[in-house]
A and B are shown apart, each in its own frame.
Chain A
Amino acid sequence: MNIIRIEHIAKIYQVGSEEVHALRDVSLTIDKNEYVAIMGPSGSGKSTLMNILGCLDTPTKGLYDFKGINVSEMTDNELANIRNREIGFVFQTFNLLPRSNALHNVELPLIYSGVSSSDRKEKALEALEKVQLSDRVTHKPNELSGGQRQRVAIARALVTSPAIILADEPTGNLDTKTGEDIMALFNELHHQGNTIILVTHEEYIAEHANRIIRIRDGMIESDTEVRNRIIPKAHNVEN
Chain B
Amino acid sequence: MNSILFEIKEGLLISLRAIKANKIRSVLTTLGIVIGVFAVVVMSNAVRGIDKSFQEGVSSLGSDNLYIDKWAWFNSEIPWWEMRNRKNLTLEDFEKFKELARLPVAVAPSMWSTENVKYEDEIAQFTNVQGTTAEYIETTNLDFESGRFFTELESNASRNVAVIGSAIADVLFEEGQGVGYEIEIENKKFKVVGILSEQGSHVMGNFNPDNQVYITIGSMFKYFMSTHRRSLTINVRAGSSLEVADVKEEAIGVMRRVRGLKFNEINDFSINQQEGLLSEINSTVGVIQIAGFIITGLSLFVGAIGIMNIMFVSVKERTKEIGIRKAIGAKKRTILSQFIAESAIICLLGGMIGLFFSVLATLMIQNTDFPISLDFDAVILAVSISLIVGVFSGFAPAYKASTLDPVDALRYE
User: Which residues of A are in contact with B by a Cβ distance under 8 Å?
Assistant: 51, 54, 56-57, 76-77, 80-81, 83-85, 89, 91, 95-97, 99-100, 108-109, 111-114, 156
Question: Known pairs A85-B329, A112-B329. 15 more at Cβ < 8 A?
Answer: A56-B406, A57-B405, A57-B407, A76-B331, A80-B331, A83-B328, A84-B330, A95-B410, A100-B17, A108-B328, A112-B330, A112-B334, A113-B329, A114-B3, A114-B6
Q: Is the CB of A51 within 8 A of B407?
A: yes
Q: Is the CB of B17 within 8 A of A80?
A: no
Residues of chain B within 8 A of A54, CB atoms compared = 327
User: Could you tell me the distance in whole angstroms from the C-beta of A116 to the nearest C-beta in chain B?
Assistant: 8
Residues of chain A within 8 A of B70, CB atoms compared = none
Q: Is the CB of A99 within 8 A of B21?
A: yes
Q: Is the CB of A83 within 8 A of B329?
A: yes
Q: Is the CB of B332 within 8 A of A76?
A: yes
In the assembled complex, 15 residue pairs joining A and B whose CB atoms fall closer than 8 Å, in A order, are A51-B407, A76-B331, A77-B331, A77-B332, A80-B332, A83-B327, A84-B328, A84-B329, A95-B324, A95-B327, A99-B17, A108-B328, A109-B329, A112-B325, A112-B329
Give bound CA distance, A217 to B291, whole Å: 68
Give bound CA distance, A113 to B407, whole Å: 21
Give bound CA distance, A222 to B171, whole Å: 104
B115-140 residues at the A interface, CB under 8 angstroms: none
Q: Is the CB of A89 within 8 A of B327?
A: yes
Select from chain B the residue with minimum beta-carbon distance to A54: B327
Most chain A CB within a 10 A radius of its CB, from B3, B6, B406? B406
Select from chain A the residue with minimum beta-carbon distance to B410: A95
Q: Mark B230-260, 1 if CB is under 8 A from A, else 0.
A: 0000000000000000000000000000000
Give bound CA distance, A60 to B279, whole Å: 70
Does B95 reach chain A (CB closer than 8 Å)? no
Residues of chain B within 8 A of A114, CB atoms compared = 3, 6-7
Select from chain B the residue with minimum beta-carbon distance to A83: B329
User: Could you tell me the distance in whole angstroms from the C-beta of B232 to the nearest C-beta in chain A?
Assistant: 80
User: Could you tell me the distance in whole angstroms from the C-beta of A144 to the nearest C-beta in chain B?
Assistant: 16
Q: Which 4 A-B pairs have the closest CB atoms?
A: A84-B329, A112-B329, A80-B331, A109-B328
Once A97-B324, A114-B6 are accepted as A-B contacts, the answer to whether A81 and B329 lie under 8 Å apart by CB is yes
Give bound CA distance, A56 to B17, whole Å: 26
User: Could you tell me the distance in whole angstroms from the C-beta of A153 to the nearest C-beta in chain B?
Assistant: 10
Q: Mark B387-411, 1 if CB is under 8 A from A, else 0.
A: 0000000000000000001110010
Give bound CA distance, A154 to B405, whole Å: 23
Select from chain A the residue with minimum beta-carbon distance to B14: A111
Select from chain A the residue with minimum beta-carbon distance to B2: A114
User: Could you tell me the distance in whole angstroms from the C-beta of B20 to the nearest C-beta in chain A?
Assistant: 9
Residues of chain A within 8 A of B6, CB atoms compared = 114
Residues of chain A within 8 A of B17, CB atoms compared = 99-100
Most chain A CB within a 10 A radius of its CB, from B3, B329, B332, B406? B329
Residues of chain A within 8 A of B202, CB atoms compared = none
Select from chain A the residue with minimum beta-carbon distance to B333: A77
Give bound CA distance, A143 to B383, whole Å: 40
Q: Mark B259-281, 1 if CB is under 8 A from A, else 0.
A: 00000000000000000000000
Q: Is the CB of A56 within 8 A of B332?
A: no
Does B145 reach chain A (CB closer than 8 Å)? no
B355-413 residues at the A interface, CB under 8 angstroms: 405-407, 410
Does B184 reach chain A (CB closer than 8 Å)? no
Does B321 reach chain A (CB closer than 8 Å)? yes
Does B152 reach chain A (CB closer than 8 Å)? no
Q: Mark B292-321, 1 if CB is under 8 A from A, else 0.
A: 000000000000000000000000000011
User: Could you tell me the distance in whole angstroms from the C-beta of A121 to the nearest C-beta in chain B?
Assistant: 14
Give bound CA distance, A83 to B7, whole Å: 18
Residues of chain B within 8 A of A100, CB atoms compared = 17
User: Could you tell me the distance in whole angstroms from the C-beta of B403 to the nearest C-beta in chain A?
Assistant: 9
Once A99-B17, A111-B10 are accepted as A-B contacts, the answer to whether A91 and B328 lie under 8 Å apart by CB is no
Residues of chain A within 8 A of B328, CB atoms compared = 83-84, 89, 108-109, 112, 156
Give bound CA distance, A111 to B331, whole Å: 11
Select from chain A the residue with minimum beta-carbon distance to B402: A76
Q: Is the CB of A80 within 8 A of B407?
A: no
Give bound CA distance, A85 to B328, whole Å: 9
Give bound CA distance, A83 to B406, whole Å: 11
User: Could you tell me the distance in whole angstroms from the C-beta of B329 to the nearest C-beta in chain A?
Assistant: 2
Most chain A CB within a 10 A radius of its CB, from B6, B326, B327, B410? B327
Residues of chain B within 8 A of A76, CB atoms compared = 331-332
User: Could you tell me the distance in whole angstroms from the C-beta of B66 to the nearest C-beta in chain A?
Assistant: 71
User: Could you tell me the distance in whole angstroms from the C-beta of A113 to the nearest C-beta in chain B?
Assistant: 7
Most chain B CB within a 10 A radius of its CB, from A54, A56, A81, A96? A56
Give bound CA distance, A99 to B331, whole Å: 21
Q: Is the CB of B326 within 8 A of A80?
A: yes
User: Could you tell me the distance in whole angstroms from the C-beta of A92 to the nearest C-beta in chain B?
Assistant: 11
Give bound CA distance, A91 to B324, whole Å: 10
Most chain A CB within a 10 A radius of its CB, from B3, B320, B328, B334? B328
Residues of chain A within 8 A of B320, CB atoms compared = 95
Select from chain B the residue with minimum beta-carbon distance to A112: B329
User: Could you tell me the distance in whole angstroms from the C-beta of B146 to the nearest C-beta in chain A?
Assistant: 69
Residues of chain A within 8 A of B410, CB atoms compared = 56, 91, 95
Residues of chain A within 8 A of B331, CB atoms compared = 76-77, 80-81, 112
